[in-house]
Structure 1
């Protein structure tokens, strides 16, 4: 069973995340990287509705870090549990891992 989170707790978590990890300008990041070649949005997902299981056992944080080190302009983390087998902690895990890089690419 999933734990329920109050609206106030969720709002607090969002504000804390904004402080810890300031948002990036997604469009500007893609344009900047495209000016130097190609912009790539890498996607962390364990499954898809059309393909079924893709990588059911991956550690989302480790995968996101690999993408960032390989030069991804941005990382998309699918958090939908039924079809993509993801969750919100996957997104947090990727942010934590990528934030450790000297030039954070979150």
Structure 2
């Protein structure tokens, strides 16, 4: 998938959930390649549900819930500005999934 996207040396690459289903080793290889592309000036627009991936790769982040932009800003600063420790915690808190998570945790306790 990435190889096809790079054939014509693009200035912008758009990736939708590119590491879903990849094993850990493949994810890291993929992430390293994306980091190299960023260093070479390629803009990357990526959608992901993996907080670790966003924190590692994204300079800026936007959280969208049911088609509505909830919050956006610099990845490294935004969670703290919103009162959270991580992208994942911020996502859960701002989209209302915290209650559902608590219910799931009670089920497995």
TM class, shorter-chain normalised?
Answer: under 0.3
User: What TM-score, normalized by structure 1, do the two folds share?
Assistant: 0.25
| Structure with the bigger percentage of strand | 2
**Structure with max Cα Rg:** 2
Higher relative contact order (CA 8 A, sep 6+): 1
User: What TM-score, normalized by structure 2, do the two folds share?
Assistant: 0.24
